Structure 1
Amino acid sequence: MKLLYYCLAFALPALSASTDDDSKKAKTAHKPCTIKSPTSGAFFDLTPISVVLPEEGRKAHKDDRTESWHARGYDYPANFTVNFCAPVVEDVKDVVGVDERLWRNVSAFYEMGGRTYSIGQQNSEPVFRGRKLILNYTDGSPCTSTSSHFTYSQRSTRPSLQSREIIGGDKGDKHRGHDDDDDEKKQKGRPGKNANVRRKSTIISLLCERDPLSPLATVAFVASSPDECTYFFEARTSAACGGIEAARQQLGPGGVFGVIFLIFVLVYIVGGCVYQRTVMHQRGWRQLPNYSMWAGIGGFIKDIFIILTSSCTRLLPSRRGYARLSPNGSGSGFGQTNAPPHRGRQGSQDSESENRLIDQLDEEWDD
């Protein structure tokens, strides 16, 4: 009974550990740039539209894209370059208001007046706003960098209330609307200016495109906020149509074969122990399945080892001065030529003993 308990104690923890590992991997594994809809349960994978340059030494495929996605600004005096879930592949330098170590993480930018403005850093986690799939980039260039450099045609042309003269006010309060340059000059002396500065951000709404003849993705600029801090884009792509998540295989072919073999061994041992104990009423080590076969194999290996070792000892060179002892106590040297008179009878007895030993081993092997 103890042997059966040992078999079960070995089998159950192994199976439970394998199932626990699989469940933990399924819960913790999350591929970047993917998301599952909380309402419909559809799986969305945006990696097909994420542009990544091939590694050095690997030949680029003819269908591989070598530049990021572009969007025209139309009435906005700049065009935009955007990538999905990854930095832009273009070499971005001298980004206004962004540290040099963060230039390689810019995921959206535009150029104006010979200067580069970031409108968001890399983000590989799309989100859902109701049924809308959204990708948001933040921590771009400061919002005050370009607000006073041009006039956006969509802004209202009516005079600002801040620029009107205040009735009964002081002459110094005639124009409350200070220029951005004056504000920046005043803020330079304030502590914590860099911590409180507002920075540009990007919101990309991804829409499903099922037309098979359409490009992989098309990006369109929608609008920007009046303070030019937030930029809105719309991207149409088949990657935003959703689908079913493909099951990822955690183990390779060798691992799968090893698991199958382990399960087979456990079933063989546990099932054999139960059968031998309940049906054949065996006890002790005889509860193991095919006990006689395994015991015979052990004896066969032992005999082979003895034969090999004895053959090796015979090949060793003998020393002069030593004699081989006979069973009756008398010895005869290796170099002696005259044998004792009873040598023939003793040889026949030895051969009979060897024959009996061989017959005994054959009977044990047959059992």
Structure 2
Amino acid sequence: EEPKLNPCSAIHPLTNGFFDLSELSSINKENTVAFSAKGYDYNKNFTLSICSSPLKPNIDVNNNYNGHFAKYHINSSEVGGFYTDEAGDKFSIGNFNSTPVFRGKKLTLTYNNGSYCPNGIDKKSTVLSFICDKEILAKASVSFVGVLHDCDYFFEVRTVHACPTAQKADNLALIWIFLFIFLAALMVYCSGGFLYKRI
């Protein structure tokens, strides 16, 4: 039976290494956590969040592409990443997902169901590929890698949080173990004192 994991965490299926990306997300935080990536050869700047939305609720995000569809908006609280066009309109590149998965040796996070692609049928999606970087000073560095058909976006995320760690233990279990050891030591001390007085 697989252990139940917190959102934004994963266990490597071969090494059993534990990976926790929640420090990079807005999960259980009041403010949004967002990362910027410049699409140098794509002429767009991206804003992404990890396992959460970089947008506050009720922000307009367009679901059409170049006016091919009637303009209607999507739920901004589900958007995992977006870019802003020359007119200032935001376009989703996928709804966030809080379940990282391993593709071979790579820890990845996939966002689906963004704004419509230029073909008017498919919706934009994003793949974030995480790389363990213990020397980075920032929480994370997000780089735009490429795009396929103005529809599928690829990013690389370098962060110390993509390095395996020990899984967070249940604090209550630790307290019970400490209490049990303390009570056992107390019983040994008291019974030793009682036996010493009897002799």
Shorter-chain TM range is 0.7 to 0.9
Distance in structure 1 (CA, Å) of the matches to 2:79 and 2:88: 17
Q: 1:228 aligns with which of 143, 150, 154?
A: 150
Matched, 1:242 2:164: yes
Question: Is the partner of 2:109 in helix, strand or coil?
Answer: strand
Question: Is the partner of 1:44 in helix, strand or coil?
Answer: strand
Higher fraction of strand? 2
* Aligned counterparts, 1:69-80, within 5 A: 69-80=35-46
Partner residue, 1:34? 9
Deviation at 1:247, TM superposition (A): 1.6
- Give 2:45's aligned amino acid: N
Scaled by the length of structure 2, what TM-score is found? 0.76
Q: 2:130 aligns with which of 206, 215, 219?
A: 206
> Does the CA-based 8 Å contact 2:133-2:163 persist in structure 1?
yes
The structure with more radius of gyration: 1
Matched, 1:108 2:81: yes
Higher relative contact order (CA 8 A, sep 6+): 2
**Percent identity at matched positions?**
35
Question: Is the partner of 1:135 in helix, strand or coil?
Answer: strand
Higher fraction of helix? 1
Question: Is the partner of 2:39 in helix, strand or coil?
Answer: coil
Deviation at 1:66, TM superposition (A): 5.8
Deviation at 1:52, TM superposition (A): 5.3
Question: Is the partner of 1:79 in helix, strand or coil?
Answer: strand
- Give 1:48's aligned amino acid: E
CA RMSD of aligned residues (A): 2.8
Distance in structure 2 (CA, Å) of the matches to 1:90 and 1:74: 26
How many residue pairs end up in the alignment? 172
Scaled by the length of structure 1, what TM-score is found? 0.43
* Aligned counterparts, 1:1-367, within 5 A: 29-51=4-26, 54-55=29-30, 67-90=33-56, 93-97=59-63, 100=73, 102-112=75-85, 113-144=87-118, 197-211=121-135, 214-225=137-148, 227-250=149-172, 256=176
Deviation at 1:40, TM superposition (A): 1.2
Distance in structure 2 (CA, Å) of the matches to 1:128 and 1:252: 30
Unaligned runs of 5+ in 1: 1-23, 56-64, 145-179, 185-196, 265-367
Deviation at 1:89, TM superposition (A): 3.9
Q: Aligned pair in 2 of structure 1 residues 83, 38: CA closer, same or farther (>3 Å)?
A: same
Unaligned runs of 5+ in 2: 65-71, 185-199
Q: Deviations over 1:334-359 (max 9, x none)?
A: xxxxxxxxxxxxxxxxxxxxxxxxxx
- Give 2:153's aligned amino acid: Y
